[in-house]
Structure 1
Amino acid sequence: MPEGPSIVILREEAAKFRRQTVRKVSGNSSIDLERMQGRRVVSLRSWGKHFLVEFSGFSLRVHLLMFGTYHIDEPKPKPPRLALEFDNGTLYFYTASLKYVEGPLDDSYDWRADVMSPDWDPALARRKLRRQPDTLACDALLDQDVFAGVGNIIKNEVLFRIGVHPESPIGALPPRTLTRLVAQAREYSFDFLEWKKRYVLRQHWLVHRKRDCPTCGAKLAKAKLGMRERWAYFCVRCQQLY
């Protein structure tokens, strides 16, 4: 599943379509695609894992799910879920979920929860976490209401960075450790963004999809943990279970 930094890259790569008019729209989505025909793009925004094409009065929300992709100007051989054609190129989406968001985006999205946003509010994240003391750390980091944009890669790497076992309840974490968890959710996301732009992201993974701990050399544990049952990679020696 594309994580927040990947959606930021999509937003940046699609920036040339801002202020452009949709000349032709097509695709195999069940929503009313014709609604966008002839409409001018006001802005292109992102919130967490959502890519947002804003028009006057409504917006299109694109979620790339687990295996969704996008292409600009060069289509794939299979039919797209959506193709938006402009005077200066075409934006294609494949295996994506599409939904219209009515009214101003500020009424639907709290930008303070987006770890990639300049409006990110770590104090708000900490307050939300304190209200769910029984939530496991591996689930808390994937809570999009708290950490919009954080996905499984970021989750695994953040927990290793701060030395926390993924099954540690949030309420058991010392205050300083909780602060580090919140801070690293954002810091690692921006590291992810930089590495992905340089095509070296996988080279920087410490535990995600790895076999051995880079610190102690022990074999890493691998298990589907938490209520979401997402794969966790962690070191039982280096990551403390609180």
Structure 2
Amino acid sequence: MIQRRIPPPATDPTPISDQKDFKIAKAWCTSLQNGIAIIRDDVSHGYHHGQSQQTPKPSLIVAFIYHTLLCMIPAAIFAKMPEGPSVKKFYTLAFPFVGRFVVKVAGSTKQINLKDVNGCKFQDCQVHGKNLFLAFGSDLQSAANDDLPREGLEAGPSPEDTVHPQGNSVMLKDNEQEMSKTVGRNQTNKNKASNELARGRTTCKWLRFHFGMYGSIRANEFARTKQANKRGDWKDPAPRLVLNFDDGGFLAFYNCRMDWCSRPVIKPASDILSAGFHRGQALEALRNSRPVCFTLLDQRYFSGLGNIIKNEILFLAGIHPLTPGSLLGPKTLETIVDHAIRFTSDWLHNKLQGIRMHHQIYLKDICPLGHLVMKDNFGPPGGLQRPTWWCPECQPQIPINQVESA
């Protein structure tokens, strides 16, 4: 297999979609810090002038607010981003509606004009990395945009075809069969719609979804709140988009970003759950001098791999998150990639079966061997700092002057 030349890493390898979430969270934290400073100054001013003798010490108020809101909430936000297996699961919810017409559109989103979807036929559904793509069109129009940019395969690999060319084929074949059971009842509509697209009988426009930190999809049901808010209200979450179809079913999208695109940009070589995942390209990316925990979250080489997977596979491989990849030997790098493929595939399999995935290090205080777990936020300079858990005993740091032998 010919290995691709890896382009020089950008100054900030954080995906654009994740950068947006990071900027929002960073702005929120800055505003919170400013607000705390104002409260602290006001309370201190009251003390100096004898105006609030009964008020608790401002240092205690500030400390409580800071540690509760500034530290805990961002960590929780950054820890919950839907990863590749979750988006594959969202695909199985949307797929059965392929071939149906949208008869009504609702939702709170201002990112698209809802009228652009109303009356359209749901033509296709694809997932690539952390992005879900839905195609909408009309059978009455002729094909257009045949020269639109496209990278990778000529036709997107269907999520059912998740067999890696190198290893784990039996395990991934189980996922293929399970997904076929989940979406198979609408395979006729899917094939018909795909054939219409291929023959140029349909003008198609693609709506891209990125699920950020807490995004999700519900099919034929709305999300219900699980606890009251601070005011005691039990208000259900408001969907960003609701697509009602001519068969009476509907899809509800929550906490996601969406925008129109010409068509999916397919990069199967980097998609950890794709049949075309390029193992050699991933290994070459891991060999550079950056910490391995940075490279694993670089969506150019490990699309769909997120923070939970990063933490788990580094623990399984016994590698400290900040270890430069250039210090690791070929066998260790192979082990990391093996764990990435296996863990991601197992997670997808469990999601399709409705089984909760057991984590060994993520969000843990003690590792399976009883050692104290450490936690910190790591990320490239100027990039997204992600919560990272590791066991110093099971994942010792390699001295900078020590290089593993082959």
Residue pairs, 1:35-184, within 5 angstroms = 35-55=116-136, 56-76=203-223, 77-88=236-247, 89-102=249-262, 104-105=263-264, 108-130=265-287, 133-184=288-339
Partners of 1:158 and 1:185 within 8 A in 2: yes
Instruction: Please state how far the C-alpha of 1:241 moved relative to its aligned partner.
Output: 2.2
My pick for the range that moved more, 11-20 or 120-129, is 120-129
Aligned to 1:211: 365
Report the Cα distance in structure 2 between the residues aligned to 1:151 and 1:6, rounded to whole angstroms: 11
SS at match of 1:196: helix
Q: What is the percentage of aligned positions where both structures have the same residue?
A: 34
CA gap of 1:101–1:129, structure 2 versus 1, over 3 A, is farther
When the two structures are superposed, what TM-score results if normalisation uses the length of structure 1?
0.90
Q: Unmatched 5+ residue regions in structure 2? A: 1-80, 137-202, 224-235, 399-406
RMSD of aligned residue pairs (Cα, Å) = 1.7
Instruction: Please state how far the C-alpha of 1:17 moved relative to its aligned partner.
Output: 0.8
Report the Cα distance in structure 1 between the residues aligned to 2:362 and 2:297, rounded to whole angstroms: 15
Instruction: Please state how far the C-alpha of 1:196 moved relative to its aligned partner.
Output: 2.9
Instruction: Please state how far the C-alpha of 1:90 moved relative to its aligned partner.
Output: 0.6
Give the letter aligned to residue 206 of structure 1.
Q
Report the Cα distance in structure 2 between the residues aligned to 1:175 and 1:73, rounded to whole angstroms: 48
Matched, 1:230 2:386: yes
Give the letter aligned to residue 226 of structure 1.
G
Give the letter aligned to residue 114 of structure 1.
D
Give the letter aligned to residue 129 of structure 2.
G
- State the structure with bigger RCO (CA 8 A, min sep 6), 1 or 2: 2
Q: Unmatched 5+ residue regions in structure 1? A: none
Report the Cα distance in structure 1 between the residues aligned to 2:102 and 2:325, rounded to whole angstroms: 46
Report the Cα distance in structure 1 between the residues aligned to 2:276 and 2:245, rounded to whole angstroms: 31
Structure with bigger gyration radius: 2
Aligned to 1:4: 84
Partners of 2:123 and 2:204 within 8 A in 1: no
Once the two structures are superposed, what CA deviation does each residue of 1:208-236 show, in whole Å capped at 9, x if it has no partner? 11111213x21111111222321111111
Report the Cα distance in structure 2 between the residues aligned to 1:66 and 1:151, rounded to whole angstroms: 11
When the two structures are superposed, what TM-score results if normalisation uses the length of structure 2?
0.55
Instruction: Please state how far the C-alpha of 1:199 moved relative to its aligned partner.
Output: 4.1
Report the Cα distance in structure 2 between the residues aligned to 1:206 and 1:213, rounded to whole angstroms: 7
Report the Cα distance in structure 1 between the residues aligned to 2:220 and 2:275, rounded to whole angstroms: 30
Report the Cα distance in structure 2 between the residues aligned to 1:141 and 1:201, rounded to whole angstroms: 23
Partners of 1:70 and 1:94 within 8 A in 2: yes
SS at match of 1:139: helix
The count of aligned residue pairs is 235
SS at match of 2:102: coil
Report the Cα distance in structure 2 between the residues aligned to 1:72 and 1:196, rounded to whole angstroms: 16
Structure number with higher strand proportion:
1
Partners of 1:22 and 1:36 within 8 A in 2: yes
Aligned to 1:240: 396
Instruction: Please state how far the C-alpha of 1:87 moved relative to its aligned partner.
Output: 1.7
Structure number with higher helix proportion:
2
